[in-house]
Amino acid sequence: MSAESATLPVGTIVHGHGAESSHGSHHGSGHGHDPNVAHQFDDAAQQHESVLLGMWSFLATEVLFFGGLFCAYLVYRTTSPLAFTLASQHLNVILGAVNTGVLLVSSLFIALAVRESQLGNGKRVNLYLLGTILLGAVFLLIKGYEWTTDYHEGLIPFAKNFQIPEHNLDEMAHNATPAGRFKLFWVLYFFMTGLHGIHVIIGLVMFGIVMYVVKKRTQTGKSYSNLVEVTGLYWHFVDIVWVFLYPLMYLIHPITGGGGHH
Amino acid sequence: MNTHATHNSSDHHPHVMSVQMNLVIFAALMVLLVLTVVAAYTITGGWGILVAMVIATVKAALILAYFMHVRFGSKLQLLFAISAFFWLALMLGITLLDYISRGWLSIDGK
Amino acid sequence: MSTHVHSSSTAHSVAPNSSSDEPLNYLTNGHTVKSWLLTLDHKRIALLYLAGVVFFFLVGGVMASVIRMELMTPGGDVLYSPDAYNRVFTVHGVVMIFFFLVPSVPGVLGNFLLPLMIGARDLAFPKLNLLSWYIYIFGGVSALLIVLLGGIDTGWTFYAPFSTTFSNSLVVPAAIAVFITGFSSILTGLNFVVTTHTMRAPGMTWGRLPLFVWAIYATSLIMVLGTPVLAVAIALIGVERAFGVGIFDPALGGDPILFQHLFWFYSHPAVYIMLLPGMGVINEIIPCFARRPIFGYKAMAGAMLGIAVLGFVVWGHHMFVSGQSMYAGLVFSFLTFFVAVPSGIKVFNWTSTMYKGSVNFDTPMLYAIAFIGLFTIGGVTGLMLASLGVDVHLHDTYFVVAHFHYVMVGGTVTAFLGGMHFWWPKMTGRMYPEIWGKLSAIVVFIGFNLTFFPQFLLGYLGMPRRYYEYPGEFQVLNVLSSAGASILAFGFLMPIVYFALSLKFSPKAGPNPWRATGLEWETSSPPPTENFASTPVITTEPYNYSPEDSERAPWDPFGSTTPEEVAHVG
């Protein structure tokens, strides 16, 4: 312990503050607190680590937030596999796959945007962010198309026209599966994809704001890489949620079987 | 030591991942996507869900490790990421324990 | 002093235009309403939280008084309808849990002390901190509006399908209020976790952290990892009720037990959100007033992390008599007994710390000793409830009510009051009147036990909770309980009065009236806005006390030592 404190570069640590902390929050006079570093931090490294950990903590919260829904999914799918299989067959596997691809490309764009922000190429950062926003919009459009189709087929449990298709009802009755579980699949599907969709929208709005900030800070020479990196983490998380949602919602087996109806 | 790591500005070197590396990871993700769709059509029976989940987990791990820089970041980020999924596993696992063990006793309602 | 600070806190001025001789502190640095409502200073936000939790404590307390009045007689004669009674105890539970207990110690003492204790200028995210408070107040005020508009009658547990299908009260708005308030908790936890990781001063290693910081850290982990699950459970209740889809209602294909799983996955750990910070407070008080280093530092820190983690795998013990499988019940019962191990470690270590110490029975210490006793009773009766067979008899009786009040009130509230007395000189720069403080601790202790001990007996005899009428043979014990409640209420009101008066009439405290170790005592009282004149460097272990060092008489029943004298001793 004492050896550790003896090896401390004490001078460098105290240096940032000893004299100037008396300025309170308005620094910038003379021997400078880095303008890119908020007053509560000592240096850029501490700030960087803090904002990253902040986002990781938030994502941990998000994992458990979606986790509660995955828990409900797990319980109902385990106890009523047939209802989930039958319900899932009404989803469009190909559109789901395309949407997964769209999100994966957007994740690549964000990864590249983070790279460019670390290198300080503000214009390229904004190019990639714009690409991500467009891809996010495509994702939402495809999702919207799917939801509209679901509505016309009477599969939205929150809508008045919800109706379990006759052949599905027959098969569930035949196998002593409660028909309510068929509806439950759709409740969970819309709740989870809806919540995911809200996260996508929030991401797109955030990227719009980030683009503005990056443009501003490119002109003033201030740092923006933390911002890009943190919002990027959020977006990758949104992608990961979809990576699990896709097989759980669309790829329930057997895809082509399902007792021979259709 | 961990106290000072963040205070020491000399070890502030954010890892910059090369374009090539980003593309390799992306390509791997797309291959896995195709794989999971193909598997869904070809594998029948109970193994399908397992294969789908394994592929999804590998995809998530790739995104976490490379796109989210967990491999290059501090150990803390890794710890945070692992704890989140560990707690999720606790919730899913223990809840499921209840549901699969229902009916093991031949008493109604237990 | 053991810990070394580079320059004394009085040697600098905070603002250049300070006219008086006294340097500005966080209280005098800005007097406008705006400087409070838009402050980013963790110490001011702590006081904002203090205003909030005291307000909600009074609201919840009034509800408790109504409950105890109603239960003084076997018939329903105060509230006239069981429905009104249901609403009153629901408000009592919701307000006390979500708007008092959860934010109390973390919001007030955690906010104030965490940066001071680790030698930081502020939390990692000051704006987020302020946002947490606003979300908390918004959620709380919404909840009160809901009460005024008709209230809810589901109990704080929101159990389905009653809440989703049958209740005729404002379930959806209340669910939204709780959902929103959850984000306050999450943001606070996130802020504390990050701050503990990245904002520690040089030399403040994990092995040197005050145990209060460990407690706040363990609490924050639960806040970050547990609260979102409650949010989802509550959101699903809202969806089911609003759209009539069967997520939990068995008549529509759902499973009500799933709601209980999701709800208790948060709400059992939430018990530790409420308790662990209280334990952290006790960890600080006991060594200081026993003048001995804490016994078993590592075991104490580990015990709190252990409680936080184990607390996540025992939630099913709330569901023994639900439709949960017997095997799951067995596992949950078994795991629940494990939580007793870290809790026991803590109780034994506190008492071991006092052993052969030079104990001063000042107010904080009186509260701390009360905590140990009451928490032990609360904890041991918890083990009785964790036993499968016993729980069948005691489930949903007053035994449970007594048990969790021993933990929540006897534990958390007692610790909160002890902590408020301990750090009041630091927060305000003024002492509180010691003799009144001692009196309040004694009154609270007597009132508490008189209120809740009879409830153990009532529960054991079979009186169910949440009923507003009861058979006549339970009346004696109920009257005792209600009488105790009025003493308890008086005990709780006393500190509010003398704390307020102390701001004007009490002597100044000086930087370290208790001669305590810990960084927060190294700076002036009240601390300057930026906490320390220069970043402190820590070179010694925590709790550097020795009994020989105690220069005060060990037993000072009349509080005759004035604070100045105490300060001078240091």
**Can you give the residue ranges of every domain in chain C?**
39-251+261-569
**Interface size between A and B, measured as CB pairs under 8 A:** 163
Of A46, A56, A243, the CB nearest to B60: A243
Q: Are C258 and A64 an interchain contact pair (Cβ–Cβ within 8 Å)?
A: no
Q: What is the pLDDT of residue B43?
A: 82
* Neighboring chain A residues of B52 at a CB cutoff of 8 Å: 247-248, 251
Q: What is the pLDDT of residue A12?
A: 31
Q: What is the pLDDT of residue A23?
A: 35
B64 and B78 together in one domain: no
Which has more pLDDT, C250 or C211?
C211
Q: Residue C326 above 60 pLDDT?
A: yes
Does the CB of B70 have a partner CB in chain A at under 8 Å? no
Q: What is the pLDDT of residue C78?
A: 86
Query: In Å, how far are A79, B24, C226, C260, C314 from C324, measured between CA atoms?
Result: 14, 48, 21, 10, 13
Q: What residue ranges define each of the domains in chain A, with the CATH number in brackets?
A: 70-260 (1.20.120.80)
CA distance A60 to chain B (A): 5
Pick from A57, A240, A244 the residue to mutate for testing the B interface (most B CBs within 10 Å): A240
Q: What is the mean pLDDT of residues C225-242?
A: 94
**Interface size between B and C, measured as CB pairs under 8 A:** 58
Q: How far apart are CA A61 and CA C221, in angstroms?
A: 10
pLDDT-based confidence at residue C551 (cuts at 50, 70, 90): low
Residue of B nearest to A246 (CA): B56
Q: What tokens does C146 get?
A: 């809901």
Q: What is the pLDDT of residue C21?
A: 62
Q: Residue B10 above 90 pLDDT?
A: no
Q: What is the pLDDT of residue A32?
A: 54
Of A49, A65, A183, the CB nearest to C253: A183
CB contacts under 8 A, B 18-47 vs A, are 19, 22-23, 25-26, 29-30, 33, 36-37, 40-41, 43-45
Q: Are C258 and B6 an interchain contact pair (Cβ–Cβ within 8 Å)?
A: no
B64 and B95 together in one domain: no
3-state SS string over C178-215? HHHHHHHHHHHHHHHHHHHHHCCCCCCCHHHCCHHHHH
Residues C509, C515, C516, C522, Cα dihedral to 10°: 70
**C274 by DSSP, 3-state: which?**
helix
Q: Are B14 and A48 an interchain contact pair (Cβ–Cβ within 8 Å)?
A: yes
CA distance A159 to chain B (A): 30
pLDDT-based confidence at residue C480 (cuts at 50, 70, 90): very high
Pick from C232, C317, C327, C334 the residue to mutate for testing the B interface (most B CBs within 10 Å): C327
Q: Residue C156 above 80 pLDDT?
A: yes
Task: Kindly report the CATH class assigned to C39-251+261-569.
Answer: mainly alpha
Of A2, A17, A61, the CB nearest to C224: A61
B59 and B45 together in one domain: yes
pLDDT-based confidence at residue B102 (cuts at 50, 70, 90): confident
Q: Are C232 and A42 an interchain contact pair (Cβ–Cβ within 8 Å)?
A: no
Residue of A nearest to C263 (CA): A68
CB contacts under 8 A, B 33-72 vs C, are none
CA distance C488 to chain A (A): 38
Residues A156, A70, C93, C145, Cα dihedral to 10°: -40
Phi then psi dihedrals of residue C454, to 5 deg: -55, -25
Across all residues in chain C, what is the average pLDDT? 91
Q: What is the mean pLDDT of residues C56-70?
A: 96
Q: What is the pLDDT of residue B105?
A: 78
* Neighboring chain A residues of C120 at a CB cutoff of 8 Å: 40
Q: What tokens does C74 get?
A: 């076997």
B80 and B97 together in one domain: yes
Q: What is the pLDDT of residue C532?
A: 93
Q: Are A256 and B41 an interchain contact pair (Cβ–Cβ within 8 Å)?
A: yes
Q: Residue C530 above 80 pLDDT?
A: yes
Q: What tokens does C264 get?
A: 């208790």
CB C366 within 8 A of CB C285: no
B92 and B55 together in one domain: no
Q: Residue C568 above 70 pLDDT?
A: no
Q: Are B97 and C204 an interchain contact pair (Cβ–Cβ within 8 Å)?
A: no
Q: Are B109 and C323 an interchain contact pair (Cβ–Cβ within 8 Å)?
A: yes
3-state SS string over A219-252? HHCCCCHHHHHHHHHHHHHHHHHHHHHHHHHHCC
Q: Are B12 and A79 an interchain contact pair (Cβ–Cβ within 8 Å)?
A: no
Query: In Å, how far are C215, C406, C499 from C465, measured between CA atoms?
Result: 32, 16, 35
Across all residues in chain A, what is the average pLDDT? 85
Q: Are C326 and B107 an interchain contact pair (Cβ–Cβ within 8 Å)?
A: yes
B37 and B48 together in one domain: yes
Q: What is the mean pLDDT of residues C102-125?
A: 96
Q: How far apart are CA B11 and CA C565, in angstroms?
A: 49
pLDDT above 70: percentage of residues in chain C:
93
Residue of B nearest to C261 (CA): B95
B39 and B79 together in one domain: no
Range of the domain at B31: 2-73
Which residues of chain A are modeled with pLDDT < 50?
A: 1-31, 257-262
Q: Write down the ipTM of this complex.
A: 0.90
Which has more pLDDT, A3 or C505?
C505
Q: How far apart are CA B69 and CA B63, in angstroms?
A: 8
Does the CB of B62 have a partner CB in chain A at under 8 Å? no
Q: Are C194 and A57 an interchain contact pair (Cβ–Cβ within 8 Å)?
A: yes
* Neighboring chain B residues of C325 at a CB cutoff of 8 Å: 97-99, 101-105, 110
Of B30, B43, B77, the CB nearest to A52: B77
Q: What is the pLDDT of residue C80?
A: 80
Q: Are C325 and B2 an interchain contact pair (Cβ–Cβ within 8 Å)?
A: no
B47 and B85 together in one domain: no
B59 and B107 together in one domain: no
* Domains identified in chain B, total number: 2
B53 and B88 together in one domain: no
CA distance B6 to chain A (A): 5
Q: What tokens does A151 get?
A: 């509505």
Q: Are C537 and A14 an interchain contact pair (Cβ–Cβ within 8 Å)?
A: yes
**C363 by DSSP, 3-state: which?**
helix
3-state helix, strand, coil in chain A (%, to 5): 75, 0, 25
B20 and B59 together in one domain: yes
Q: What is the pLDDT of residue C5?
A: 41
Residue of C nearest to B85 (CA): C225
Does the CB of B13 have a partner CB in chain A at under 8 Å? no
Does the CB of B109 have a partner CB in chain C at under 8 Å? yes
pLDDT digits (tens, 9 = 90+) for B23-70: 999 999 999 999 999 998 888 777 888 899 999 999 999 999 999 999
Q: What angle do CA C207, C212, C218 make, to 5 degrees?
A: 80
Of C203, C312, C328, the CB nearest to B3: C203
Subunits with 3+ C-beta pairs closer than 8 A to A = B, C
Q: How far apart are CA B36 and CA A216, in angstroms?
A: 43
Which has more pLDDT, C181 or C570?
C181
Q: How far apart are CA B87 and CA B91, in angstroms?
A: 6
Q: Are B88 and A50 an interchain contact pair (Cβ–Cβ within 8 Å)?
A: no
CA distance B102 to chain A (A): 11
Residue burial C271-291, b: 16+ Cβ < 10 Å; e: rest: bbbbbbbbbbbbbbbbbbbbb
